[in-house]
Chains A and B, each alone.
Chain A
Amino acid sequence: MFDFLSNYNDPSFLGAFWMTVKLTVLSAIGSLIWGTLLAAMRVSPVPLMRGFGTAYVNLVRNIPLTVIIVFTSLGLADIFGMTMGAPDDFKLQGFRLAILGFVAYTAAFVCEALRSGINTVPVGQAEAARAIGLSFTQVLSLIVLPQAFRAVIGPLANVLIALTKNTTVAAAIGVAEAAYLMKGMIEKEAQTLLIGAIFAFGFVVLTLPTGLILGWLSKRLAVKR
């Protein structure tokens, strides 16, 4: 029944899902860093930085991810010659370009989640902290950020799950991940329903534990007010 799976070697079934996992993890790390920087800009006392952060978030999240990913390939790579350090290896280049696109897009949502976390901390706490003489860095690292991070585990989990599903868009520029393999398989094999089911199952396996673990964690760590 599952014989046809072994007919595919480039990518193989597990190889394709491994690619999905790699895309997800690397993009998640990248967008967490860039998203945190954006969030820092959006809450900074400098109006110009706030303006840049706001503009970035509002522009990027209204552009379809598909447009961004296709642009990295047709625009950045083909026209601007951005090879991402892999001028001869098109597979690797596509992989890195896709991650660049995912980071640019997902960071906007990470930023919004973090910013809402900072907003959950009551202003009075910071005022009290300043009143007892804590410096800005101390207020930030001892009072605000610990509470903010605990508040945004849930929203960040949603962003991560959305990112996992969004990595399928990389198929649009030929990155051999799950959706790419499914498209090839489903066109060649007769068992449409079975193939659909195993790929669906693959994504349930990837997203369900993420949601459950982080959901449990966010409940456990939430600051009760």
Chain B
Amino acid sequence: MSSVLYDAPGPRAKRRNAILTVVFFVLLALLLWWVWRTMDDKNQLEWKLWEPFTTSEIWTTYLLPGLADTLKAAGLAMVIALPLGALFGIARLSDHRWVRGVAGTVVEFFRAIPVLLLMLFANEVYVRSTDISSEDRPLYAVVTGLVLYNASVLAEVVRAGILALPKGQTEAAQAIGLRKGQTMGTILLPQAVTVMLPAIVSQLVVIVKDTALGGVMLGFTELLNSRQTLAAFYANVVPSFIVVAIIYIVLNFIITTFASWLEGRLRRGKKSTGAVIPAAAVGGTTATGGEGGGVPGLGTYIQKQGP
């Protein structure tokens, strides 16, 4: 094995690696032992705290409804944000300067603001100027916040997707006499959607993670919020956190795996132009509230395959 940092190991390097392995193993074992001891000291390993998770009751009463709300908010946000994002992404590529300017300002503005502020703001607007019932309000506020933020992120993805297509596509469309709208609608956009599918799917991870904000700050009954009710009932704070974290990890791992599988498939596809926006290009794997600033731009991440 050879990498930038080290060569295929010789006898001395092998010995050094073996020593490092042992030292690291001991440190890791000490750490795990310490964690285990601390948990034991605080009586967090008692079976009566963990036992509820083996009963179906805890799942049907707390965890699954919470997960359902998390998925509902994430799904709704994605479905609404996608067309909105496409609209703004296309608007940023417009030939008219004022359309470009307005769309660009809106997109950059919403990317610069924390999702939590958008949610709090939306919640208060709904309290004051609509008659949405207080039961539904958290869902509305969470989805609104997520849509505003993610539509602007997706706008950048769409723009990058369209720019990733070979220029010849547009030229050929113009040569056979298609108008601008037709070129966009029938040639560029369908291909761009394929190109950016992995990035769009992995953006779902960000959205799923951000729904947890609504649980703490707005009382939206998603997974993290259900955990609180659950822990109040069974008095098992630490185990409930661990179980909820595992649910999030598994859920997001499935989404990430699907995104990278899709990416590999699209790259190998014979019909495509070979341009793919990798799943890792968006905030998808990067942060709660995703990436901001947008200065380096997605364009830098786009990779094209040779013919």
Interface residues of A (CB under 8 A from B): 43-49, 52, 58-59, 61-67, 70-71, 74-75, 78-81, 105-106, 109, 112, 118-119, 121-123, 125-127, 130, 136, 139-140, 144, 154-155, 157-159, 161-166, 168-169, 171-172, 178-179, 182-183, 186-187, 192, 196, 199-200, 203-204, 207-208, 210-212, 214-215, 218
User: CB < 8 Å: which of B24, B113, B238, B294 contacts A204?
Assistant: B113
Which of A64, A75, A130, A178 is packed against the most chain B CB atoms within 10 Å? A64
Residue from A61, A70, A126, A215 within 8 A of B293 (CB atoms)? A215
Tell me whether B192 is interfacial, beta carbon within 8 Å. Answer: no
B50: interface (CB < 8 Å): no
- Most A Cβ at <10 Å: residue of B114, B249, B286: B114
Bound: A70/B289 CA distance, A? 17
The one of B3, B44, B256 in contact with A43, judged by C-beta atoms closer than 8 angstroms, is B3
How many A-B contacts at CB < 8 Å in the complex? 206
Residues of A within 8 A of B292 (CB): 158, 161-162, 164-165, 207, 211
B interface secondary structure, majority: helix
- Check B296 against A154 for contact (C-beta < 8 Å): yes
Q: Report which of B38, B114, B248, B253 forms a contact with A165, defined as CB distance below 8 A.
A: B114
With a cutoff of 8 Å between Cβ atoms, the chain A residues found around residue B248 in the complex are 62-64, 67
Which residues of A are found within 8 Å of B289, using beta-carbon distances?
162, 165-166
Choose among B24, B238, B288 the residue with the greatest number of A CB atoms under 10 Å from its CB: B288
Question: CB of B98 within 8 A of chain A?
Answer: no
Given contacts A63-B249, A208-B112, A215-B293, contact A182 B21 (CB under 8 A): no
B116 pairs with A168, CB closer than 8 A: yes
Chain A residues with CB under 8 Å of B209's CB are: 62-66
B124 touches A66 (CB 8 A): no
Q: How far is the CA of A156 from the CA of B231 in the complex (A)?
A: 37
B238 partner, pick from A46, A75, A130, A178, beta carbons under 8 A: A75
Q: B296 contacts which chain A residues (CB < 8 A)? A: 154-155, 157-158, 215, 218
List residues of chain B with CB within 8 A of the CB of A126. Answer: 3-5
